Each structure stands twice: as structure tokens, then as C-alpha cells.
Amino acid sequence: MPYLKQGNNFLYDSTTNDIIGIKDADGGEMYFSSLIPFMPAAYGSTTSIGIVAPAATFTSLSAANDGSGNVLLSSAGVHGLTDTNALGRHVYVSWSGAGTNGLYEVLDADSDTDELIIDYPYVAGLGTPQTSNVTADITIVSQVIPANTAKVGMSYELDLLFGMTGSTNNKTVKANYGSAAWYSQTVAANIQSVCVEKKACVVNSTTIISNALAAPGHGTSTGANVSMTPSGGIAAVQTLQIVGAIATANEFIDLVAWKLKMNGA
């Protein structure tokens, strides 16, 4: 049973003593739960992170100490990268041993065409490395959404800002929610910037609906709406993945900023 405390017009819960609403001058009551039917959640970053992809010839790799304590990746084939586009950006490296799979900043691409130095301390036992090369999907962001965050009736908004090499070669940017594809668009034609604002609505315990997969924002599309059914249902732990794929070596994709907003508005 709500009650008022002397000297203010806030309504308090008689069990928890939490503020749950407000009583106005004419005696009307408004409860916060009716204003915000769901606990909102938001995730994001304004720290830019860029990726590059070595050429398909950069295979059969080995790892060694570069002499300064960083990992030196060596191959019999060329990587096709240059310091101009690669330095400060990242390659994705997976390991057969104790090494940690993930994105690693490129420190040197110009010294040798078949060697890359990455920002990862060299120790024995890392195992055999493998880079994600051209045309491979590279996960730029992987954000865990805790269980029971999503509720039926919620709306989502996903904002993404990408920069990329302006060329006629394909670059693909994607977003997946759990096992479901939410957005995927391949751009070329000298495009250097892509701004995405995707909306989605949770319609039931298994399904989230959004606009066409390749549509970056609001408005009309020749594609049909997408029904996303992430594994385990909406109440399960899910992972938002933001992904890039680069068709040509020595080109880049930068994820400049991103935000996922989940609310009841």
C-alpha cells in the first residue's frame, strides 16, 4: 500500500519504503511503473576500433619474438598490408595453443611483406597462429546481454557509425543478435561512411521483428521485415556481435561508435 511522507508528494512503498510514484495537487496519483514499464538497458562505446584483413596468401603462420617482446607473425606468403592503412588498426588472430583469440593492433606491416608485428607479448606455448584474412567475417564487438534483460513489448534501437576505405571493392558490415541476423549490408562505390539506426520490437517470448536485413535505417525498403528468433528465446543470455568483412587486402573498416538501447518506449 503506497503512502505519503510529510512534507513531500512522493509515494512510497509500504513494504520496501522505495519511491514508487508521485501525488499531484489535485489528488491524482502517477506510478513510475506506468511511465517506464520496463527497466531500460544500454550498451555502447565511442572508442573507435578499426580492422584490416591480410591477403589470402598470408597462411601457414608461425609466431616468434620480434626482439622487443611482441609477437612476430611470419608466413611464406605476402600479407598485402601497409603501415599507412594497418597501423593502429587490428587483425584477428586465433591460436592452437595457449594464445588468446582476438583482435590485436598492428605495430608494423612495412618491414617485411610476409611478416606482421602485433601488440601481443610473446611467450612460449602460444601455439600456431592463424589470421582472419580477406572475405572472412571479423567480429569487432561482442557484447553480452544478460538473461532476462529483454521483455515482451520492449523496443530496441541499434546505432552504428562506420568509416571505411573509399574504393570500388566490397566491404560488408553486419550485426547479429544471438544466433539471429539483424543487419547485413555490402557497400562499395567509393562509400567511406555508413550510419546505421535499426529499430526492433520484441513481439513475443521467441521473436524480435525488425525492418529489412540490408536496410540501415528508417523508411521504405524492397526487402521484407526480418523476424529474429535467437536461440534460447529472448529471456536467455544473448550476445550482440558487430561484424566486418573486407574483400581486398590493405583496406579497412572502422567502427567509430555504437550503441544498443533497450527500453519500453
- Return the pLDDT at 39: 66
Beta bridge partners of 239: 144
With CA atoms as reference, report the closest residue to 246 among 175, 164, 181.
164
Same domain, 230 and 166: yes
| Torsion of the alpha carbons at 29, 31, 37 and 43, rounded to the nearest 10 | 130
Q: Exposed, middle or buried: residue 180 (CB in 10 Å: 0-12, 13-18, 19+)?
A: middle
179 part of a folded domain: yes
The pLDDT tens digits along the chain (265 residues) read 678 887 788 888 777 788 878 888 777 777 665 555 666 789 999 999 999 999 999 999 999 999 999 999 999 999 999 999 999 999 999 999 999 999 999 999 999 999 999 999 999 999 999 999 999 999 999 999 999 999 899 999 999 999 999 999 999 999 999 999 999 999 999 999 999 999 999 999 999 999 999 999 988 999 999 999 999 999 999 999 999 999 999 999 999 999 999 985 4
Identify the pLDDT of residue 20.
78
DSSP string, 205-217: SS-EEES-TT--S
237 shares a domain with 173: yes
Statement to judge: residues 143 and 64 lie in one domain: no
**DSSP type of residue 231:** T
Three-class DSSP category at 24: coil
Q: How far apart are CA 129 and CA 101, in angstroms?
A: 9
Q: Domain check: are 145 and 124 in the same one?
A: no
Final residue belonging to a domain, choices 89, 109, 131:
131
Shared domain for 192 and 222, answered yes or no, is yes
C-alpha dihedral, 127 to 132 to 136 to 140, nearest 10°: 110
Secondary structure of residue 33 in the 3-state scheme:
helix
The whole domain housing 30 covers 2-35
Rounded to whole angstroms, the Cα distance separating 251 from 255 reads 14
Q: Are residues 93 and 27 in the same domain?
A: no
Q: Does residue 75 belong to any structural domain of this protein? A: yes
Report yes or no on 252 lying in a domain.
no
User: How many Cα neighbours within 13 Å face the side chain of 118?
Assistant: 29
Number of domains present in the structure of the chain: 3
Domain membership flag for residue 253: no
Single out the residue in 99, 131, 163 at which a domain terminates.
131
Q: Which three cell numbers stand for residue 98?
A: 595457449
Q: Please indicate, yes or no, whether residues 98 and 166 belong to a single structural domain of this protein.
A: no
Q: Please indicate, yes or no, whether residues 197 and 144 belong to a single structural domain of this protein.
A: yes
Rounded to whole angstroms, how far apart are CA atoms 173 and 194?
9
> Do 127 and 141 reside in the same domain of the chain?
no
What pLDDT, on a 0 to 100 scale, did the predictor assign at position 14? Answer: 78
- Same domain? 208 vs 118: no
Instruction: Write down the pLDDT at residue 224.
Output: 96
**In terms of domains, do 206 and 241 share one?**
yes
> Residue 11's beta-bridge partner residues?
4, 21
CB neighbour list of residue 3: distance below 8 Å, 6 or more residues apart: 11, 12, 14
Shared domain for 98 and 112, answered yes or no, is: yes
Q: Establish if 93 belongs to a structural domain.
A: yes
Convert 100-166 into a string of H (helix), E (strand) and C (coil).
CCEEEEEEECCCCCCEEEEEEECCCCCCCEEECCCCCCEEEEEEEECCCCCCCCCEEEEEEEEEECC
219 burial type by CB count under 10 A (0-12 exposed, 13-18 middle, 19+ buried): exposed
**CATH code of the domain covering residue 165:** 2.60.120
- Is residue 229 one of the residues assigned to a domain? yes
